[in-house]
Each structure stands twice: as C-alpha cells, then as structure tokens.
Amino acid sequence: MATVSIVGGSGYTGQETLDRVLHHAELQLHAVGSDSLAGREAAALDPRLNRNGGRRVPRFITNDAAIACGADITFLCLAHDEAAAFEPPARGVVVDLSGGHRFLDPAVYEEWYGFAHPRPTELPQWSYALPELSAPSSRLVANPGCYATAALLALWPLRGAIDPDAVVVDAKSGMTGAGRSLRASSHAGSVLENLTPYSVGEHRHAPEIASHLGFPVTFVPHLLPVRRGLIVTCYLSSTGSDLRALLEEAYAESHLVSVLPEGTVPELARVQHTDTAELGLFEDRLTGRTIVVCAIDNLGKGAAGQAVQNVNLLFGFVETAGLRLSGVLV
C-alpha cells in the first residue's frame, strides 16, 4: 500500500480527497494537516469520521508537519499562493489541487493570480495532468481547475475541427467552487434565488483553457445557488468534420467520461457526488452552430476525484480505484 498525507485537509477539496483515500484499497492514510484544526480529533471536521468502525482518521497535525511526514503521496489542498511556495520533498508523489503549478510561465501568476511565483525555476518539474487528455508524466502533478476540466473535456478532442476564433464557453458552478473561506459573495443572501456572473472577461481559468487548446476562448463563469456541480455550455462552429464522432472516439474507452446519446442532455443531478463527466452534443437548427455541454462535480472530477485518478495512473492502480462512479438514482 502507498501512504498518503493530505495537506489542507479541512477545506472542501481536502475533505473530498480524504473521503476517496478512505475508500481506496491501495492507499493508507498517514497524516491529515490543518493549521486551524491541528491537535484536534477528526470529528472536529465531521462527526461521522471514526464512527461505526470505518478506517480510522488520525488526529489533525499542522500542515508543515503533514508535509514533512514522509508519505509516498502528498495531496496539496491549499490556497494557490500557499501551494506555490511549497518545497517538494526529495521523494514521493505530490498532487497540487490548487492553481499554484498549472503554468510553466511564471508571468501568468502575476497577471492572473495576483502574486509573483516564489519558485519559478521549479515550474517545469510539474506535469499538468487531465488524465483523458494528458496523463501525469512526473512525480509532481498539477491538477487542472474545475472549469478548465469541463471545458477541455468538451473542446480538446474537437480543437482541430472547429473555428478557433468563434468559441464561447458559458460556465456555471455551485458555491463550493469558491472554497470554504467566508466572503460576502458566498453568503446565502447573495447566492440563494440568484444567478451571478463573476470575473467576467478576467477569470484565471481562461488562460488555462487557452494554453491547452492552443487558442483563446470567450469564457464567462456564473455562480449557481446549489452546493456542488458544474456545467459548461460551449458554442462553436465546425470546419466540416463529424464532431460527435470525434467526441465518441476520444472517450470510447473512458470509465469516467460519457458521451450521451443524441438528444440526451447532461445534468448536474446525475454527476453530483461523483467523479464522472457527461457530454452532450447538439446542432443549432437556426444558425448551424454546434453546442457541446459538459457536466461534472466541481469537487469530484473537477478536483479530488481527478487528483486520486492521477495517483492511480502514476502507481499503476486500477484507474477508478477509490472513485465514485455513480450517484443516487431518484
């Protein structure tokens, strides 16, 4: 078994990663770090932990202690700037769930993340890994952003068969995408019975999408009044290829990404609490444009599930080990 340390275990992505590790037969939880909960029992995070005979979660330690504990795998569930300052251990796999290592160019961090990268010479050591597009290629793994994951799953297989100057991505996410930290924009009075676009024309996932597609897209995110789930609707123009065939071929062997039958639309309800993705492709009868829709769980395939999937690939485990493959049918 491989030992695991989770750094930043009290945030949403940390808690979701913890849950998957506890359900993974090949992973042994070694340490959980949280500066706010250090010294406290796991029940301080969730009273269901260490109850009813499940695998035991140890007492919280500081994030620095969790980093230094010598685990085979370290999941970094920290803020972007905190993860960027992380000094990798001499051995072991590290998966960064933040945006601290998603770009090779350090100038991107100043322009889009608002801080100068403290370890710019180490950025080439990190491999950006969205498994269906590019598997992890080094022991230091940069996990993709949630919006970028959905947009790239929808567009990457089509990138050579569409007009690159006419792609629009309309994206919507549940409020857990903003993290657990309190802010006015995530208060119930701002979110409930509301739908709000934000970071219009300047969201940091836009350059992430562009860097892997090879061209920029118009990207507008919105905050949904739901806890979790993310959906992107992509508007594009084909250059003549069969776009549905390209999508179906790209994901024919995937255990996690499904191209739905013609006429069936992706839905948040089916992907919430899972690590799967649903894709649907439609033709606009009036304009002739193509519409591709992708639904994922922002905390699952958009974060923790994808991080564990990357670990599975690096260690040669079954790719879906520890992952949630289906939601609850109602």
Catalytic center residues? 146
Please report where in the chains the tokens 């999941």 appear, as a residue. 75
Residue 263, strand partner residues? none
Dist. CA 233–CA 213, nearest whole Å: 16
3-state secondary structure of 247: helix
Q: What is the rounded distance in angstroms from the CA atom of residue 248 to the CA atom of residue 156?
A: 12
- Rg of the chain, C-alpha, whole Å: 19
DSSP string, 206-230: HHHHHHHHSS--EEEEEE-SSSS-E
- For residue 234, the tally of other CB atoms under 10 A from its CB is 23
Residue 191: both structure tokens together: 């979110």
Determine the Cα–Cα distance for residues 236 and 32; give it in Å rounded to an integer: 44
By residue count, the chain amounts to 330
Contacts of 198 (CB under 8 A, 6+ apart): 185, 221, 222, 223
